[in-house]
Chains A and B, each alone.
Chain A
Amino acid sequence: MNRSYEKTFSVEGGNFDNAGMASIEIKKILKDLQISDDVVRKAAIAVYESELNIISYARNGHITLYVTDDAVNVDVRDEGPGIEDIELAMKPGYSTATEQIRQMGFGAGMGLYNIKTCSDRFEISSTVGEGTHLSIKINRNGQ
């Protein structure tokens, strides 16, 4: 498979002021690549929720976007506390968010669930005390 585009973004944990900056840039890149609106929106939501998760919970992280002829792939890797019970964390409404996160309108317990809903393929792995890794794939030509 040819990787037609690839770029990695650094996200700093706890930097709430810039939350969403990487996502908005990624959305612009995808639009410039003339990817369909529906795919751009799904990718943008998945990246935005991922970015907010890094800022809210991890020390730092990286979001790598790579676009191929048939899919938009997003790889999210953070250094942080990790997730103890992934199944529970995936449940809509479950959240460990702090008051600061909730004041921004997040921490509703919809993040990982939203990412999964936007993805055609979604994989999550986590090591407690080390960090979390998400692998997201959104097909470019429908499902």
Chain B
Amino acid sequence: MKLGDVIEILEAKLLAGDERHRSLDVKTAFSADLMSDVLAFAKAGSLILTGLTTSQVVRTASILDAAAIIIVRGKIPAEETLKLAEELGIPLISTRYILFETSGRLYANGIVGCVEKIGGTANGAS
């Protein structure tokens, strides 16, 4: 799916990033408010779905080479977070849907989790 389709499905706004980012191809996502969990389990090229709006979300996404950040529950990050996202080239999207609805709507349209469940994988905690 293209990031542009994600934005449409979520009736979302692209707050950082430019029109080029809409053609980015995305297949997987990870939802969490704990950045350490994002670092542990999210994969490169994934969407990060979160309710957190601090600049640490952007730095975490950058470290992981995430495709984009989707901020849920209608939150708008502070100006410095948006500035950092622009600087680091990470598209940042805001949707009014709650985390559960955001995940569900993307899943129904073919986006899957980075990992299905934890345990039994090289990366997994039990």
Contacts and interface: CB of A to CB of B under 8 A. Distances in A.
B34 to A, nearest CB: 4
Interface stretch (A5-13, A72-80, A81-89, A107-115): A107-115
B36 A103 contact: no
Given A19-B59, A105-B54, A114 B36 contact: yes
Interface stretch (A37-45, A61-69, A120-128, A129-137): A37-45
What size tier do the contact residues of chain B reach? 20 to 34
B40 A41 contact: no
B125 A20 contact: no
Interface string B31-65: 00111111110001000001010111101101111
A106 B35 contact: yes
Contacts of B56: 19-20, 104-106
A23 interface: yes
A23 B123 CA distance: 21
Interface in B63-85: 63-65
Contact of A49 (B36, B52, B57): B36
**Interface of B, helix, strand, loop or mixed by DSSP:** helix
A105 B63 contact: no
A107 B56 CA distance: 13
A20 B54 contact: no
Contacts of B1: none
**Interface of A, helix, strand, loop or mixed by DSSP:** helix
B39 A24 contact: no
Contacts of B52: 104-105
B87 to A, nearest CB: 10
Contact of B88 (A24, A106, A113): A24
B103 to A, nearest CB: 18
B34 A24 contact: no
Given A23-B59, A24-B62, A106-B56, A114 B39 contact: yes
A143 to B, nearest CB: 10
A44 B61 CA distance: 11
A49 B56 CA distance: 12
Contact of A113 (B55, B59, B125): B125
A20 B39 CA distance: 13
A98 interface: no
Interface of A: 17, 19-20, 23-24, 27, 37, 41, 44-45, 48-49, 92, 103-111, 113-114, 117
Please give me the 10 A-B residue pairs with the lowest Cβ-Cβ distance, nearest first.
A20-B59, A105-B35, A110-B36, A108-B36, A108-B34, A92-B125, A44-B63, A104-B56, A105-B52, A48-B63
